[in-house]
Amino acid sequence: MKIVGKTKILGIIGHPVAHSLSPLMHNAAIEALGLDFVYVPFPVEPESLSAAVHGLRALGVRGFNVTIPHKSVVMPLLDKISPEAELCGAVNTVSNENGLLVGYNTDGTGLLKSLRDDLGFKPGGSVVLILGAGGAARGALASLCNAGVSRIIVANRTRERGEALVETFRDRFGKVSFHLSSLETGRLEENLKAADLLVNTTSVGMNGTSFDGLNLASMASHAKVYDMVYSPAETPLLADARRNGLACANGIGMLAAQGEAAFSIWTGVESPPGLMKDRVLAEIVA
C-alpha cells in the first residue's frame, strides 16, 4: 500500500478500538482493488467525541465507522441521518460528502445478508425471537421488519428496555405483531417453540459466558439460531443449537457484511465477494 498526497482516509472511532477487525477487513479490500484509500483506527474517549468528529470533518476524512460507546451519541454531531439509522437510534457508518457528514447504519443490512448467506433464512412471514434490546437489537428489528417478518418476540434482561423497544417498533410497523417475553427459564419455552429464528443480540456469549438455564431443545427442527457474538467462534448458545441439530451461525458474516456495505458507501465500489469474511476468519484462526 502506497500512501501519497491524494490518498483518501477512512477509519473507525471507538473506545476501545484496538481489538477492532475493521482495519484488517477494509485494508484487505482496498489492497485487492488497488484503491487509493487507507483505513486507520482512531481511539476516541467519550469526552473527546465532539472534538474528534469536528476534526475528522476538518481533515477531510472520507468516512469512518463508529463503534461502542459512540454509536448513539454521535448522531447529534452529524448533518444528516439515514432513515434506517434514525429508526435504529444508532449510526455505525459516517460518510463525508464534501463536508456534510451523513450517518448510516449498515448493521441491519449485514445481519440480513449473513442470515441469507450463512443460514439460507428467508424472513418473509417468519416468527423471530430476539434476545436483547440494545443497539444491536434495534438494528436487527429494523431490518427484519423491513424484510417482512410476521411476528417478533423480544426477550430482554431489563424488562423496561424491552418494552420501550417494542413500543417504538409497534408504532412504526403496523403489519408486524410484537410481543415481549421474559428471559427467565420456563417463561421463554413457548416462544422458543414458536420461533423460526432465534437471534442473540446481547453480549452474552463473549468469552464463553452463557444464559442461565437457556435450553434450545424445544425449538422446531427447522428453526435457525444466529449469534451476533463471534468471539469465541462457537458460543455456548451455538454449541447448544448444534447439539439440538439446529442450523446456526455466529456474527462473523454480519461483521463482514456491514463492512462491505460501509465500503460501498465510501468508495462507490463493492468489496470482492467473501474477501472481508475470509480476512477476519484468517485473523481469528491465526
What residues are annotated to the active site? Answer: 71
Nearer to ligand NAP, 48 or 203 (CB): 203
Closest C-alpha to 270, from 23, 21, 13, 33: 33
Nearer to ligand NAP, 177 or 210 (CB): 210
CA distance 235 to 208: 6
Least distance CB 103 / ligand NAP (angstroms): 15
Does position 251 interact with ligand NAP (CB under 6 A)? The reply is yes
C-beta of residue 35 within 8 angstroms of C-beta of residue 272: no
In which element (H, E) is residue 112 found? helix 107-119
Name 285's Cβ contacts closer than 8 Å, sequence gap at least 6. none
Residues within window 76-105 making contact with ligand NAP, judged by CB under 6 A: none
Candidates 105, 126, 181, 201; binder of ligand NAP (CB under 6 A) is 201
Site string for ligand NAP, 202-221 (x = CB under 6 A): xxx-x---------------
Residues within window 108-137 making contact with ligand NAP, judged by CB under 6 A: 110, 132-137
Q: Which residue is nearest to ligand NAP (CB)?
A: 134
Region near ligand NAP per CB under 6 A, out of 1-9, 37-45, 184-192, 225-233: 225-233
Contacts 24+ apart (CB under 8 A), 80-84: 84/108, 84/109, 84/142, 84/143, 84/146
CA distance 181 to 156: 7
Closest C-alpha to 176, from 154, 153, 150, 155: 150
Nearer to ligand NAP, 2 or 19 (CB): 19
Closest C-alpha to 68, from 140, 135, 141, 164: 135
Candidates 22, 156, 191, 271; binder of ligand NAP (CB under 6 A) is 156
C-beta of residue 145 within 8 angstroms of C-beta of residue 87: no
Nearer to ligand NAP, 61 or 255 (CB): 255
Candidates 88, 129, 228, 249; binder of ligand NAP (CB under 6 A) is 228
Q: Which residues bind ligand NAP (CB under 6 A)?
A: 107, 110, 132-137, 156-158, 161, 201-204, 206, 228-230, 251, 254-255, 258
